[in-house]
Chain A
Amino acid sequence: MASSIFAAVPRAPPVAVFKLTADFREDGDARKVNLGVGAYRTDEGQPWVLPVVRKVERLIADDSGLNHEYLPILGLPDFRAHASRIALGDDSAAIAESRVGGVQSLGGTGALRIGAEFLRRWYNGNNNTTTPVYVSTPTWENHNSVFLDAGFKDIRSYHYWDAAKRGLDLPGLLDDMEKAPEFSIFILHACAHNPTGTDPTPDQWKQIAAVMKRRSLFPFFDSAYQGFASGSLDKDAWAVRYFVSEGFELFCAQSFSKNFGLYNERVGNLTVVGKDADNVQRVLSQMEKIVRTTWSNPPSQGARIVATTLGSPQLFAEWKDNVKTMADRVLLMRSELRSRLESLGTPGTWNHITDQIGMFSFTGLNPKQVEYMIKEKHIYLMASGRINMCGLTTKNLDYVAKSIHEAVTKIQ
C-alpha cells in the first residue's frame, strides 16, 4: 500500500491547561489541589450546576411542546435579544435605536471566531488579512489562534501586566495604542482579565477609550465573566457600556459558560453594535454566511436555558443570586489566601490577591516556583503563575498558603 498521506503529520503539543488537568487526575497524592482550568468549584471542590439551571432544565424537559428542530442560523431570537441586553443594559440607547444585533455562538470562543472571520472579510477593506490585531500581554492563549485561524497575519501584543508592580501597565498600554496603525483591532477583556485578574479602573478605561477613538482603533471585547467578577452584572459591564455610550462601533463576545455554569452546552453570543440599524442588518446578513459554513446553526439546549431564565423576572432574580454566590465565594477565598500569606510573613506583597478580580490570580510565582508547587506539593497551576481561585476551599487554604510560602522562600 502506498505510504499514507498523513505520514508527515506531526504530533501537536497538547493544550497546556488540559494537560495540567490530565496530570492532576493521574496524581495519587491525597493532598493534591487543582488550581488550573477555569471552572467554578464549590467549597467541597465539586462542580456546581446552578439551582436555577436545574429548575429551568426541568421546565424544558416537562414542556411537551418543545422539540429538537433547527434553530435559525443566527440562533434563538429570544436568547440573542436577552444576551445583548444583559451586556448593554436594560436602558441601552443603542438597543432602543435598533443598532444592536446578536449572533448566538458556541461559547465565547465561537463568538470570538465568528467575529474574527467577519472582521477579516469586511473590516478595513475587503479581506484585509494585514490589519494588525492586538492582544494583551499576557492574554488567554487561545486569542492568538482564533485570529490566526480566521486569516489575520499580523497578531501583535500590547503592554498590559506590569510584573514589577503587579498591576496594570497603563502607560505602556496607552503608548502601544498611540503607536498602533490606524484601524488596528484591539482585543479588550471586559472584566476579570484572564489570566491576570487585573482590570483597568473606570478612569483608566476612559483614557483607553479616548486614545482608541482618536486613533480609530476597533474595540473587540471579550466578556467571559459578566457577573462573576464583582457579583454585579452592571458593574462588570461598565467598560463595554461606556464605549457604546462614547459612540464606538464594537463587537462583544459573550460567554455564558461561567456565569451560568453551562460550560459544556456552549452558550455564547456575539453582540454587534453599529452606527445604525441598516448597517447592523447588513452585518448580520453576512454573519449568517459565515455561520452557515462553520456550524450551520447553533445548539439549542443551552440557549433555551439562558433565554428562559433571563426572560422571567423571578428566574432572573434567582440567577443573579446564584451568580453572587459564586462571586462571593471567590472573593472570600481571595481574602483568606491573602491574610494567610501575610500572617506567614511570606516575602513580597500580597495585596494583589485581593486587588485582582474574577476567577484568576497572577500570583507572581515564577516557573521554577511553579514547578516546585506541582512536583513537590502536588498543587497544579499554570507555568505563568496563574491560579484559579475556585480551586481553593476552606479545607485546602492552609496547605496552599504554606506551599506558596515554601516555594517563595526556597526557590528564587
Chain B
Amino acid sequence: SSWWSHVEMGPPDPILGVTEAFKRDTNSKKMNLGVGAYRDDNGKPYVLNCVRKAEAMIASKKMDKEYLPIAGLADFTRASAELALGENSEAFKSGRYVTVQGISGTGSLRIGANFLQRFFKASRDVYLPKPSWGNHTPIFRDAGLQLQAYRYYDPKTCSLDFTGAMEDISKIPEKSIILLHACAHNPTGVDPRQEQWKEMASVVKKRNLLVYFDMAYQGFASGDINRDAWAVRHFIEQGINIVLSQSYAKNMGLYGERAGAFTVICSDAEEAKRVESQLKILIRPMYSNPPLNGARIASLILNTPELRKEWLVEVKGMADRIIGMRSQLVSNLKKEGSSHNWQHITDQIGMFCFTGLKPEQVERLTKEFSIYMTKDGRISVAGVASGNVGYLAHAIHQVTK
C-alpha cells in the first residue's frame, strides 16, 4: 500500500482549464481571453527589444554563475526600489528601506507574508479587496495568516464601490494588514482615482493599518511608470510605512524568468538592516538564493540609460495597444447596435477587464463562438487584437442583446 492513498486529487486550476479547453478547440476563429500574458497585435508573445539587447550584452560578458547573495542582485534591488519609490523619494534617498529580490510577484508576496506572520504580531488578519487575484488567498493562508475582505468592486456599475470600500476600511480593526493593488487591479481593472486614493490613505492612517501594496503592472497600466506608482508614493509621503511586492513579469515581459522584489519601508536605515537580516533568514530555507537571469536583465535595463529609455517606450507601447483594444471593443459594440453601457471597458485599466457578463453568457460565448474566458466574465484584453476585436464585439452583442 502507498503512503499517498489518502491524498486527494487537487482541484483543477480554473484558468488552466480555460486554456486546456481552448487548445482542444478546432474553430479557426477561437480566442483565448484567459491568458494572463501580453500578446502583440498578431496574438503572439512579445519579447521586448530592450530585453533582447540586454541579453546580448550579458552574453558577450561571459560572466560566471556564482551564487547570488540571499537578498539577490544588489544593482537590481536598488533599481527596483528607485523605480517604485521614485528617485526623489525621501525614503529612498535616506536608505530607510530594504528591498530583497523575490521570485517574481508570487515569491515576493510570499516572502512578505511569511515575514509578517513571523514579526507582525499585532494581527493575523489580511484584508483583501473583493474580488482579488485568486492566488492572494492561498499565499497568505499558507503563510499562516487569516483572510478577510473589504468591499471593492460594484457589479452593478462595473466600477469601484468607493462608499462601500471606505465604510469597510473604516471598520477594519487597528493594526490589521490591508492589501491594496497599486494599479491595474486584478481581476477587475478598476482602480481608484487619485482623490479616492488620498481618502483611502487618510483612513488607513487613522486606523493604523499595515499597508501591503501589490504592484505587478507598473508602467503596464497607464503607460507611465510614475503615474502607475502614484498611490504607492503618496502613501509613503503621508508617513505610511508600507510593504511592497513588485513583479517584472508583465512590464518587462520576463514572465518565466521570475524577476520580482519585496520592499519594507522602515523608520530608518538601522531598522532596515535588522529587517533585511530577518528576511534572509526566511529566504534561505525556501530556496537559498534567487535566480540571476531575470534580475540581471531587469537590472541592466533599469540601470543603462539607453535601455531604460527604450523600455519606457516599449512598455508604453504595450499599454497603448491594450488601451486601443478597449476603445475598439466599445466602438465595435456600438456598431453592432448594442444598447448596453460599455463604458466600464474603457474606464477600466490594465490587462484585465470585468465585462459584467454572466456565467450563462460566458458559456454561450465559449460554446457558440469559441471565445474562452473565466466564468466571472473576466477577459484578458491582451488576448484581443485588431484582427479579432470585431468578432469579439459581435459575439458579445449576440449573447447580451
Contact status A264-B291, CB under 8 Å: yes
* Inter-chain contact B1/A15, CB cutoff 8 Å: no
Check if B4 sits within 8 Å of A69, measured CB to CB.
no
Contact check, B10 vs A49: say whether CB atoms are below 8 A apart.
no
Bitwise, B19-44 to A at CB < 8 A (1) or not (0) is 00000000000000000010000000
Task: Find residues 130-148 in chain B having any chain A CB closer than 8 Å to their own CB.
Answer: 135, 138-139, 141-143
- Contact (A109, B106) CB under 8 Å given A9-B275, A285-B10: no
Q: What number of A-B contacts does a CB cutoff of 8 Å give? A: 229
Partner pick for B10 among A1, A7, A126, A289, CB 8 A cutoff = A289
Chain B hits for A163, CB < 8 A = none
Smallest CB–CB gap between A105 and chain B, Å? 8
The answer to whether B287 touches A266 (Cβ under 8 A) is yes
Q: Say yes or no for A286: interface residue by CB 8 A criterion.
A: yes
Answer yes or no: A249 CB below 8 A from chain B CBs: yes
Q: Is A312 an interface residue (CB 8 A)?
A: no
Contact B67 A264 (CB under 8 A): yes
* Residue numbers in A under 8 Å from B253 (CB-CB): 68
Taken together as a complex, chains A and B put the C-alpha atoms of A5 and B271 apart, in Å, by 10
Which A residue sits closest to B208, measured CB to CB?
A: A2
B264 at the interface (CB under 8 A from A): yes
User: Which of B58-66, B157-165, B190-198 has 4 or more CB atoms under 8 Å from chain A?
Assistant: B58-66
CB of B5, distance to nearest CB on chain A (Å):
7
Q: Residue B331 at the A interface, CB < 8 A?
A: no
Query: Count the A residues whose beta carbon is within 8 Å of the partner chain — how many?
Result: 81
Indicate whether A11 sits within 8 Å of B256 (C-beta atoms), given known contacts A107-B288, A299-B291.
no
The count of chain B contact residues (Cβ–Cβ below 8 Å) is: 76
Docked Cα-Cα span, A7 to B267, in Å, equals: 8
Q: How far is the CB of B299 from chain A (nearest CB, A)?
A: 13
Asked if B135 and A286 sit within 8 Å, CB to CB, the answer is no
Q: Is the CB of A113 within 8 A of B65?
A: no
In the complex, the answer to whether A149 meets B288 with C-beta atoms within 8 Å is: no
When distances are taken between beta carbons in the complex, the residues of chain A under 8 Å from B290 are 106, 266
* Interface residue B263 (Cβ < 8 Å from any Cβ of A): no
Q: Assuming the A-B contacts A9-B271, A39-B67, A279-B2, are A109 and B288 also in contact, with contact meaning beta carbons closer than 8 angstroms in the complex?
A: yes
- Tell me whether A92 is interfacial, beta carbon within 8 Å: no
Question: How far in angstroms is the closest Cβ of chain B from A309?
Answer: 14
> Which residues in B have their C-beta under 8 angstroms from that of A294?
103, 106-107, 110, 142, 286
* Set of chain B residues within 8 Å of A37, measured between Cβ atoms: 67
Residues of B close to A242: CB separation below 8 A: none
Q: Are B291 and A266 within 8 A (Cβ)? A: yes
- Mark interface residues in A274-311 (1 if CB within 8 Å of B CB, else 0): 11100111110110111011111111111000000000
User: In the bound complex, what is the Cα–Cα distance between A295 and B245 (angstroms)?
Assistant: 13
- Contact present for A299 and B45 (CB under 8 Å): no
Q: Is A67 in contact with chain B by the CB < 8 A criterion?
A: yes
Chain B 64-95 interface mask (CB, 8 Å, partner A; 1/0): 11111110000000000000000000000000
Asked if B282 lies at the interface with its beta carbon under 8 angstroms from chain A, I say yes
Cβ of A265 within 8 Å of any chain B Cβ, yes or no, is yes
With known contacts A12-B277, A293-B135, A295-B104, A68–B257 Cβ distance under 8 A: yes
Least CB distance from B92 to A in Å reads: 18
Decide if B288 touches A274 in the complex (CB within 8 Å): no
The stretch that binds B, out of A79-87, A140-148, A362-370, A377-385, is A140-148
Give, as a whole number of angstroms, the nearest-CB distance from A124 to chain B. 8
A24 to B138, CA, bound (A): 42
The answer to whether A71 and B256 touch across the interface, beta carbons within 8 angstroms, is yes
Contact of B256 among A54, A57, A69, A113 (CB under 8 A): A69
Minimum CB–CB distance for A343 against chain B, Å: 34
A104 to B206 Cα, complex, angstroms: 45
Give the CA-CA distance A15 to B13 in the complex, in Å.
38
Flag if B282 contacts A149 (CB, 8 Å).
Answer: yes
Decide if B284 touches A145 in the complex (CB within 8 Å).
yes
> Is the beta-carbon distance between B271 and A295 smaller than 8 angstroms?
no
Q: Which partner residue on chain B sits nearest A38 by CB separation?
A: B67
Q: Given that A11-B277, A12-B278, A106-B103 are known contacts, is A293 also in contact with B138, CB under 8 Å in the complex?
A: yes
Interface residues as binary, A48-68 with B (CB distance below 8 Å gives 1, 0 otherwise)? 110001100110010000011
Task: Determine how close the nearest CB of chain A comes to the CB of B40; give it in whole angstroms.
Answer: 11
- Contact (Cβ within 8 A) A70 B256: yes
Min distance, Cβ A142 to any Cβ of chain B, angstroms: 6
Interface residues of A in 199-253 (CB under 8 A from B): 218, 249
Q: Which residues of B contact A (CB under 8 A)?
A: 1-10, 13, 37, 45, 47, 51, 55-56, 59, 62, 64-70, 103-107, 110, 119-120, 122, 135, 138-139, 141-143, 175, 208, 210, 239, 241, 249, 253-258, 264, 266-267, 271, 273-275, 277-278, 280-282, 284-294
